[in-house]
Copies of this chain bind each other. A is one copy, B any other.
Amino acid sequence: MKFELTILGSSGAMPFKNRFPTAHVLNIHEQLFLLDCGEGTQMRMSKFKVRKGKIQSVFITHLHGDHIFGLPGLLTSLGMNGRETPLNIYSPPGLEAMINGLFPQAEKGPPFKIIYHELDTTISQLIFENEILTVETIPLSHGIACNGYLFREKKMPRKMIKEKISEYGIPFKDIPGIKLGNDWSNPEGRVIPNNELTLAPPPPRSFAFCTDTSYDERIIPYIKGVDMLYHESTFLEEDADKALATNHSTVMQAAEIAKKAEVGRLILGHYSARYEDLDPHLLEARSIFPASYLGYDGAVFDLPMKKS
């Protein structure tokens, strides 16, 4: 069961050489979620073999161009590829009018239904839930309505030990209940405890996506202990004044948040175009939080199933 983040674009506001504007795909059990959609997202999907038709929902952090200017083209191409499934798009208010304004009457826009969900970015909310995961928002500080997203895999059912079915002659109708953790009584009334019949499922995995934001410890309670954190790291420490002035973070600030929140690993990204070489980013991050990794266009970060 996959839980995998693909970086489609790792640049900040301006693209730079091989770094395209912000876009990511999160694959949870083959359900694909697009996180932000900077210019060129559909080309990046093609290049990195992400099947755009499989995108189930889109989560936009905020309405700055480098996070949304790839949407009009992507929506058009999905329509040309024959998409009929409705597409849910979650974002701060205002996106729908921006997108619709790009499709003049002569060209009515994509032929499938787009459902826009306007989010209140001042509070954390559960905004999405299905059989395998939940998504909650994380209020961020970027000088504009902006939130991050927290993806939590749901607890999977316990695994039935197959040999026990024949050993005790358990009827199939009782198995779903056992997988949920119930004990089982045989026809003679003897109770077999659940832990003799099943194995615990692997612990659920989690990922927090935090961009764009200045250093803000208020997000720590929301992201505490997540397995993987993407935290924007636009600037090096030497440019901390620029981070402050533009409501962005330095890489050391990102690492500080990762450390305080005791996350499993930190993915860096949203780099300013002023930096060509990103080695200093990695070194600065690891000086504070060793499990830091450079996000780069095309990188894939996999969270393997944990041992139960």
Q: Pick from B64, B69, B101: contact of A69, CB below 8 A.
A: B69
CB A39 to nearest CB in B, in angstroms, measures: 4
**Among A16-24, A161-169, A280-288, which stretch is in contact with chain B?**
A16-24
- Residue of B whose beta carbon sits closest to that of A17: B46
Task: Tell me, yes or no, whether A80 is within 8 Å of chain B by CB.
Answer: yes
Contact of A15 with B43 in the complex, beta carbons under 8 Å: yes
Contact of B14 with A80 in the complex, beta carbons under 8 Å: yes
Task: Tell me, yes or no, whether A98 is within 8 Å of chain B by CB.
Answer: yes
A101-B97, A106-B144, A144-B106 known; A13+B43 contact, CB < 8 A: no
Contact of B64 with A107 in the complex, beta carbons under 8 Å: yes
Q: Pick from B15, B63, B81: contact of A77, CB below 8 A.
A: B15
- Bin chain A's interface residue count: 35 or more
- Which B residues are in CB contact (< 8 Å) with A106? 63, 143-145
- Which B residues are in CB contact (< 8 Å) with A21? 73
Contact of B72 with A65 in the complex, beta carbons under 8 Å: yes
- Which B residues are in CB contact (< 8 Å) with A94? 104
Task: Tell me, yes or no, whether A76 is within 8 Å of chain B by CB.
Answer: yes
CB A61 to nearest CB in B, in angstroms, measures: 14
Contact of B102 with A102 in the complex, beta carbons under 8 Å: yes
Q: In the bound complex, how far is the Cα of B39 from the Cα of A69, in angstroms?
A: 8
Task: Tell me, yes or no, whether A213 is within 8 Å of chain B by CB.
Answer: no
Q: In the bound complex, how far is the Cα of B63 from the Cα of A16, in angstroms?
A: 27
Task: Tell me, yes or no, whether A42 is within 8 Å of chain B by CB.
Answer: yes
- Which B residues are in CB contact (< 8 Å) with A46? 15-17
- Which B residues are in CB contact (< 8 Å) with A69? 39, 69, 72-73, 76, 102
Contact of B107 with A144 in the complex, beta carbons under 8 Å: yes
Contact of A98 with B102 in the complex, beta carbons under 8 Å: yes
In this complex, which of A14, A43, A77, A101 has the most chain B Cβ atoms within 10 angstroms of its Cβ? A43
- Residue of B whose beta carbon sits closest to that of A73: B39
Task: Tell me, yes or no, whether A40 is within 8 Å of chain B by CB.
Answer: yes
**A129-146 interface bits toward B, Cβ cutoff 8 Å, 1 = contact, 0 = none:** 000000000000001110
- Which B residues are in CB contact (< 8 Å) with A63? 104, 106-107
Q: Pick from B98, B107, B143: contact of A101, CB below 8 A.
A: B98
- Which B residues are in CB contact (< 8 Å) with A13? 76-77, 80
Q: In the bound complex, how far is the Cα of B77 from the Cα of A38, in angstroms?
A: 13
CB A1 to nearest CB in B, in angstroms, measures: 31
Show 18 residue pairs from A and B whose CB-CB distance is below 8 angstroms, ordered by the A residue: A14-B76, A14-B80, A16-B46, A17-B46, A39-B69, A39-B70, A39-B72, A40-B40, A63-B104, A64-B107, A65-B76, A65-B102, A69-B69, A69-B102, A101-B101, A102-B102, A106-B143, A107-B144
